[in-house]
Structure 1
């Protein structure tokens, strides 16, 4: 089966979507499929990623809010690329312009929309929930729900990796929603990588001894990730227990986060860790992962932390909350620094044992289910 993934969010310096796509390019041929990713880039070119796997870059303008990304500038170029690839199945990884453009493509291949983004949670709910209920916000953003329902009519399925997001999509009137959770890269993350020497060194860098609590935060420094809220919560919790926070990431919110940290010696902001093995060792050596974003569609970093043997301190909404299903995980009220601080204090004063008791769900488990669903859709279309 020839699969084409139209991915507007794929970029060399991207985050979770890049990790997802890179693994998909490696996995698809092993399942007997050919995969081409169509992505916006600085120029037109084709990049081979091995037998049966490639990226077709389409020249596209830079995204004004984040120069790491680009966006598909003209529908004709995207339609021409789809015509040239002649796919059996088309996947789209964004609910925005690219999804509407692919819906308008005149090709015969069935289409699948994968919700790698939750715009309402990332923007509308985050901005307006302090003053309005979600029902009220949804009414004012009815145009977006109408847009999603139109896409739902054009796509054979809408894939969500989060049960909570799937429920909201169905409640919003979408009929073709399926839930296929993602997973972690195989063979990378493990509790066995824990390094007590590294942990002690990181705590010392934060001005604490080995009896301190080492919290790890990993992700883009973007507004929807709510890192200033996490910094505020960790600082407040530090008044009740020895708490250190190490944030790892890069993004346009860096200056704001630095200001939020101020002169607090127990909170450090480090750059991104591009080496996956180094990240796995860092994760296994922390005491808990803390996360502030309620707009995650799966929360890859939370899944990686669980595979590393960590407990989670996360919001009670979104994909991160889905991951926090262990007895030692702690949820706090989404968007509340005070409740996040209280959760950190509860965890610090009575930390549970961190133990992984089952094999973590791996990304290839997700791809197996996803490709099986595509095979069924294509077979049904051929039979019809």
Structure 2
């Protein structure tokens, strides 16, 4: 099968959209299919693309004002030319917003089936960054996804949101996790001594440092005796967070085996963002055998079994986060039990399993197109 993946982000970018697009391309290539990726141009892409599992076509882009880590693709004829030259049988739109809209238009013009993967809560971002614009964001989402043959939602909450806002033909497609890379055995006592030299309980956050992530909710944990907060990631909120989280250790962006070692060396993983359509870092923490604290909203509702693998708390409530940290800090037995249960819960969610589910969606879409043509 010849598939073109049109994605708003791709490595060397480090985010959920880029990671999922990369894993999709890898799985297609591993299963003998012929993928092509179209993505915005970014610094460092040349070296990254050489190690990609398939050819990558880069489209000129500009940094998003105020958030240079995010690139926005510019109008380009490369999208149509690349899809046509690849003789695509199906177009996969990864979190379509700007580049994905062009990919959808090309697919429609060429009569190609399209599968759109919903992955970014644009309405939540509009609420966070401009205090308005939710309606406009949903109109754009509805327009793009309604043109696709099928929309894939990463969680039950995301699926409900899409359907409630008028998007049809929505199915569930979760995300995989690398259970070989992220595993409890990587716990590193030397690293723990460096991060918490007085034997403090280590509470970690991993992700972008941006307003929509509400990392400042860890301020209550920073003030607890015997607790050390560790923050992994970068983004525009880092300067303000260094002030808001006194005593926290900021490690910057980490990836690969280095990140896996950090995950496994945490005592508690705390995610604070209320707008997650899935929340990959929660799965990576669970695979690492670490108990999780997350908001009772969005993707974490599917991932965290409250009272078994972690604790779900009221979104945007600093006291609720602090209370959950206190509960886990006071019970090593509870932390161990949650960690074991979390690892067991994700062991069957490998990217190979999730990738095969995606191929099933592709087959159903192609079959429906064939039936209509017949």
- Deviation per CA, 1:256-310, whole angstroms, max 9, x where unpaired? 111213xx33x21111113x11221221121111111111221111101100101
* CA gap 1:110/1:301 in 2 versus in 1, 3 angstroms: same
* CA gap 1:368/1:320 in 2 versus in 1, 3 angstroms: same
Aligned equivalent of 2:301: 321
Residue 79 of structure 1 and its aligned partner are, at CA, apart by 2.2
Q: Which moved more, 1:296-305 or 1:351-360?
A: 351-360
Residue 109 of structure 1 and its aligned partner are, at CA, apart by 1.1
**Alignment RMSD:** 2.5
Residue 200 of structure 1 and its aligned partner are, at CA, apart by 3.5
Aligned equivalent of 1:131: none
Aligned equivalent of 2:32: 32
Distance 1:194 1:219 in 2: 20
Q: Is the 2:203–2:270 contact (alpha carbons within 8 Å) kept by the matching residues of 1? A: yes
Residue 67 of structure 1 aligns to a residue in which SS?
strand
Q: Is the 2:123–2:138 contact (alpha carbons within 8 Å) kept by the matching residues of 1? A: no
Match of residue 233, structure 1, among 220, 231, 241:
220
Distance 1:272 1:378 in 2: 40
Aligned equivalent of 2:150: 157
Residue 63 of structure 2 aligns to a residue in which SS?
coil
* CA gap 1:198/1:56 in 2 versus in 1, 3 angstroms: same
Distance 2:207 2:137 in 1: 27
Q: Is the 1:25–1:49 contact (alpha carbons within 8 Å) kept by the matching residues of 2? A: no
Aligned equivalent of 2:229: 245
Q: Which moved more, 1:3-12 or 1:15-24?
A: 15-24
Residue 75 of structure 1 and its aligned partner are, at CA, apart by 5.2
Match of residue 171, structure 2, among 171, 178, 181:
178
Q: Is the 2:104–2:144 contact (alpha carbons within 8 Å) kept by the matching residues of 1? A: yes
Match of residue 300, structure 1, among 280, 296, 309:
280
Aligned equivalent of 1:15: 15
Distance 1:162 1:174 in 2: 15
Distance 1:125 1:258 in 2: 20
Match of residue 146, structure 1, among 120, 139, 142:
139
Residue 125 of structure 1 and its aligned partner are, at CA, apart by 6.5
Q: Is the 1:3–1:90 contact (alpha carbons within 8 Å) kept by the matching residues of 2? A: yes
Residue 68 of structure 2 aligns to a residue in which SS?
coil
Residue 328 of structure 1 and its aligned partner are, at CA, apart by 4.2
Q: Specify every segment of 5 or more residues in structure 2 that has no aligned partner in the other structure, as ranges.
A: none
* CA gap 1:42/1:253 in 2 versus in 1, 3 angstroms: closer
Distance 2:167 2:303 in 1: 24
Residue 55 of structure 2 aligns to a residue in which SS?
strand
Aligned equivalent of 1:270: 251
* CA gap 1:182/1:42 in 2 versus in 1, 3 angstroms: closer
Residue 5 of structure 1 and its aligned partner are, at CA, apart by 0.8
Q: Specify every segment of 5 or more residues in structure 1 that has no aligned partner in the other structure, as ranges.
A: 129-136
Q: Aligned residue pairs: how many?
A: 360
Distance 1:100 1:59 in 2: 15
Distance 2:68 2:278 in 1: 24
Q: Is the 1:186–1:363 contact (alpha carbons within 8 Å) kept by the matching residues of 2? A: no
* CA gap 1:40/1:357 in 2 versus in 1, 3 angstroms: closer
Q: Which moved more, 1:346-355 or 1:284-293?
A: 346-355
* CA gap 1:183/1:233 in 2 versus in 1, 3 angstroms: farther
Distance 1:20 1:83 in 2: 24
* CA gap 1:328/1:74 in 2 versus in 1, 3 angstroms: closer
Aligned equivalent of 2:264: 284
Distance 1:332 1:78 in 2: 43
Aligned equivalent of 2:357: 369
Residue 144 of structure 1 and its aligned partner are, at CA, apart by 3.0
TM-score normalised by length of structure 1: 0.86
Q: Is the 1:193–1:285 contact (alpha carbons within 8 Å) kept by the matching residues of 2? A: yes
Residue 29 of structure 1 and its aligned partner are, at CA, apart by 1.4
- Deviation per CA, 1:341-372, whole angstroms, max 9, x where unpaired? 12212222234122133524112221111122
Distance 2:162 2:145 in 1: 10
Q: Which aligned segments of 4 or more residues in structure 1 are displaced greater than 6 angstroms?
A: 43-46
